[in-house]
């Protein structure tokens, strides 16, 4: 299992694509502060952010043109790209803004990740993240099939995959077909070793969505669980 | 016995290959990169950079059908095997890029030449530009600035752009296209899905024939004899077959699920 950072750092990352070639400090980004207000799909689908730090070519010009961070960080929705705000992102400090983490107190709790059950928080409308920035958001696909994924090992009970809990935050195209092709009868290829390497469920469930150390959340009837 | 082993090995190799394609996210192309094709069958042998072909510019000016049916370009990069000699004879790129044809009030520069001087080399690099620092005549951002927006692909709703007259793609060129009376266009229809609660696909022939005519899809991609006679799955589409022949790389990508799966579930 990968070591887990403290709750206020879980899902935080530094964007340091140009670090070393530019003098600008790496930009800090915290998922917990953003996911309270926007669903994953807003940034990872509409705005085109990749699922890996530094994989997106975010530039100052693009931001100023209203792309990427600049879609919201424009001085109207929230602070923009003006000089006085540089250090709010470009500070190289992974824990920047952690004093605001206390605002999450009171949300449904879990034992891992941010210690917040984001799924329940959304269901219970304790948080109301925007699902779209667009004036004409795409219609929902009300696909809520729950899959039972048989485990490779005999003593591991199956994993339960609810589509609905995922489509609450994401859209189909976030996972299909790149992460999960829709081939039937194919759980064999997403064994835990590959998930642990950051593939399949591990694309999100190692660093942003609840971590896989929380076995029971996917394998509900697992017994040996701390 | 040996045959068995070979078959088993091949199966396992292909199975691994199929799996290797999933698991992680790919880089999403930037709007101006989407629909970009690198053609390099013979470029290197001729001492030139590969050709960088961008669909966005050509599709704003010509229909898909014109190049992929009348002129005969394949549907996969490097599948056509375009030679300079053929271009000079007026085939492929040379059908328009002949130094004589015009689009609006612009003369279309000629493609390829046997002899070259300094001026010609500059012309070569207008297409043979992959990896070269070439200033293009058209800039994507300013060219598409006024076009209606979409979420994926080029970030442009090409369909609406045409509806609003912002683009008027040419569908026929003299000496190559032969006008035939149009066939009656079928009404939009729903294509059922195999999975319960998945919205059905609304397929519009009208929207497709506008750019593609009939011949681009029928009978090779879709036999099209009787509705339902060609069976296909999303897996095959994601592998570049059927709808995936266009809707993975050039036409709006399959990640825009709801644009096809649009019939509300009852």
Place of tokens 């442009």: B156
Q: How far is CA B106 from the centre of its chain?
A: 24
Across the interface, which of B28, B151, B235 has its CB nearest the CB of A183? B235
Pairwise CA distance, residues B28 & B250, whole Å: 13
Whole-number pLDDT of residue B4: 60
A46 touching B (Cβ < 8 Å): yes
Instruction: Dump the DSSP string for B88-157.
Output: HTT-GGGGT-SSS-EETTEEPPPP--SS--HHHHHHHHHHS-TTS----SS-HHHHHTTSPB-SSTTSB-
The domain made up of A139-217 is a member of CATH 3.90.10.10: yes
Find out whether A138 and A146 touch, Cβ atoms under 8 Å.
no
Domain B36-144 belongs to what architecture? Alpha-Beta Complex (3.90)
* pLDDT score of A155 more than 90: no
Neighbour-count burial of B88, counting CB atoms closer than 10 A to its CB (0-12 exposed, 13-18 middle, 19+ buried): middle
Pairwise CA distance, residues B180 & B162, whole Å: 22
Residues B143-198: pLDDT tens digits? 999 999 998 999 999 999 999 999 999 999 999 999 888 888 888 999 988 888 88
Whole-number pLDDT of residue B266: 63
Nearest alpha-carbon partner for A186 in B58, B18, B149: B18
Whole-number pLDDT of residue B10: 52
Residues B84-131: pLDDT tens digits? 999 999 999 999 999 999 999 999 999 998 777 777 778 899 999 999
Place of tokens 């042998």: B45
When pLDDT is averaged across residues A41-65 and rounded to a whole number, the result is 94
Cα distance from N-terminal residue to C-terminal residue, chain A: 14
A49 touching B (Cβ < 8 Å): no
Class of domain B180-266: alpha beta
In chain A, what residues touch B265 (CB-CB under 8 Å)? 142
Pairwise CA distance, residues A72 & A134, whole Å: 12
A141/B258 CB distance under 8 A: yes
Pairwise CA distance, residues A17 & B89, whole Å: 48
Interface with A, mutate which of B20, B23, B198 (most A CBs under 10 A): B23
Residues B17-65: pLDDT tens digits? 444 467 899 899 999 999 999 999 999 998 999 999 999 999 999 999 9
Residue B87's DSSP bridge partners are none
When pLDDT is averaged across residues A19-42 and rounded to a whole number, the result is 94
Interface with A, mutate which of B22, B153, B193 (most A CBs under 10 A): B22
Sequence-distant (6+) residues with CB within 8 A of A143 are A163, A164, A167, A172, B195, B197, B198
Class of domain A10-104: alpha beta
Neighbour-count burial of B36, counting CB atoms closer than 10 A to its CB (0-12 exposed, 13-18 middle, 19+ buried): middle
Pairwise CA distance, residues B68 & B246, whole Å: 12
Tell me whether domains A10-104 and A139-217 share a fold. yes
Place of tokens 């001087």: B117
Confidence of residue A135 (pLDDT cuts 50, 70, 90): confident
Confidence of residue A110 (pLDDT cuts 50, 70, 90): very high
Whole-number pLDDT of residue B126: 93
Whole-number pLDDT of residue B13: 46
Closest-approach residue (CA) in chain B for A189? B19
Whole-number pLDDT of residue A94: 96
When pLDDT is averaged across residues A106-122 and rounded to a whole number, the result is 96
Residue A38's DSSP bridge partners are A130
Find out whether B177 and B171 touch, Cβ atoms under 8 Å.
yes
When pLDDT is averaged across residues A109-125 and rounded to a whole number, the result is 96
Find out whether B40 and B130 touch, Cβ atoms under 8 Å.
yes
Q: For chain A, how big is the Rg over CA atoms in Å?
A: 18
Peptide bond preceding B47 in cis form (omega within 30 of 0): no
The domain limits of chain A are 10-104, 139-217
Across the interface, which of A52, A145, A173 has its CB nearest the CB of B255? A173
For the stretch B219-223, contacts whose Cβ atoms lie closer than 8 Å and that sit 24 or more positions apart, written own/partner, are B221/B245
Whole-number pLDDT of residue A142: 73
Confidence of residue A226 (pLDDT cuts 50, 70, 90): very low
Neighbour-count burial of B246, counting CB atoms closer than 10 A to its CB (0-12 exposed, 13-18 middle, 19+ buried): buried
Residues A181-207: pLDDT tens digits? 877 666 677 889 999 999 999 999 999
Q: What is the largest CA-CA distance in chain B?
A: 69
Find out whether A147 and A165 touch, Cβ atoms under 8 Å.
no
Whole-number pLDDT of residue A140: 73
Pairwise CA distance, residues B71 & B84, whole Å: 15
Across the interface, which of B21, B30, B152 has its CB nearest the CB of A181? B21
* pLDDT score of B14 more than 60: no
Strand ranges (DSSP E) for B172-254?
A: 189-191, 200-203
* Helix or strand (DSSP H, E) at B87: helix B84-88
Q: What is the largest CA-CA distance in chain A?
A: 59
Neighbour-count burial of A226, counting CB atoms closer than 10 A to its CB (0-12 exposed, 13-18 middle, 19+ buried): exposed
Tell me whether domains B36-144 and B180-266 share a fold. yes
In this structure, the number of other CB atoms found within 10 A of the CB of residue A93 comes to 14
Residues B199-247: pLDDT tens digits? 899 999 999 999 999 999 999 999 877 887 888 999 999 999 999 999 9
* Helix or strand (DSSP H, E) at B234: helix B234-238
Residue A130's DSSP bridge partners are A38
B19/A178 CB distance under 8 A: no
Pairwise CA distance, residues A22 & A5, whole Å: 28
The domain limits of chain B are 36-144, 180-266
Average pLDDT, chain A: 91
A216 touching B (Cβ < 8 Å): no
Whole-number pLDDT of residue B15: 47
Whole-number pLDDT of residue A224: 66
Pairwise CA distance, residues B92 & B94, whole Å: 5
């Amino acid at each position: 299992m990968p070591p887990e950072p403290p709750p206020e750092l879980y899902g935080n990352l530094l964007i340091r694509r140009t670090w070393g070639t530019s003098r600008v400090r790496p930009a800090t980004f915290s998922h917990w502060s953003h996911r309270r207000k926007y669903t994953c799909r807003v940034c990872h689908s509409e705005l085109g952010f990749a699922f890996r730090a530094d994989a997106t070519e975010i530039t100052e010009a693009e931001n100023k043109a209203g792309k990427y961070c600049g879609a919201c960080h424009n001085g109207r929705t929230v602070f923009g790209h003006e000089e006085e705000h540089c250090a709010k992102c470009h500070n190289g400090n992974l824990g920047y803004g952690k004093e605001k983490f206390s605002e999450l107190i009171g949300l449904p709790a879990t034992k891992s990740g941010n210690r917040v059950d984001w799924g329940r928080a959304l269901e219970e409308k304790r948080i109301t993240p925007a699902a779209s920035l667009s004036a004409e958001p795409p219609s929902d696909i009300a696909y809520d099939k729950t899959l039972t994924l048989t485990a490779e090992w005999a003593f591991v009970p199956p994993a339960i995959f609810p589509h609905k809990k995922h489509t609450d935050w994401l859209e189909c195209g976030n996972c299909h077909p790149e992460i999960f092709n829709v081939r039937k009868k194919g759980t064999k290829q997403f064994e835990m070793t590959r998930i642990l390497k950051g593939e399949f469920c591990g694309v999100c469930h190692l660093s942003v969505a609840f971590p896989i150390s929380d076995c029971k959340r996917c394998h509900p009837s697992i017994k040996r669980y701390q | 016995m040996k045959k068995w082993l070979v078959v088993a090995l091949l199966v396992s190799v292909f199975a691994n290959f199929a799996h290797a394609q999933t698991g992680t996210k790919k880089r999403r192309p930037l709007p101006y990169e989407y629909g970009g094709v690198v053609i390099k069958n013979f470029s290197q042998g001729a001492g030139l950079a590969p050709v960088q072909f961008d669909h966005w510019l050509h599709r704003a000016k010509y229909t898909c059908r014109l190049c992929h049916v009348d002129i005969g370009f394949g549907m996969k990069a490097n599948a056509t095997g375009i030679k300079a000699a053929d271009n000079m004879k007026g085939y492929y790129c040379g059908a328009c890029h002949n130094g004589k044809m015009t689009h609006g009030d612009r003369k279309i520069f000629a493609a390829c030449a046997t002899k070259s001087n300094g001026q010609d080399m500059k012309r070569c690099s207008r297409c043979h530009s992959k990896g070269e620092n070439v200033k293009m005549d058209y800039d994507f951002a300013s060219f598409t600035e006024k076009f209606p927006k979409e979420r994926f692909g080029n970030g442009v709703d090409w369909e609406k752009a045409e509806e609003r007259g912002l683009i008027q793609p040419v569908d026929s060129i003299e000496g190559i296209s032969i006008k035939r009376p149009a066939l009656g266009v079928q009404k939009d229809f729903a294509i059922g899905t195999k999975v319960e609660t998945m919205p059905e696909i609304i397929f519009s022939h009208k929207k497709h024939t506008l750019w593609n005519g009939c011949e681009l899809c029928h009978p090779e991609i879709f036999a099209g004899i009787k509705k339902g006679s060609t069976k296909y799955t999303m897996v095959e589409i994601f592998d570049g077959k059927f709808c995936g022949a266009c809707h993975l790389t050039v036409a709006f990508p399959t990640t825009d699920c709801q644009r096809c799966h649009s019939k509300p579930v009852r």
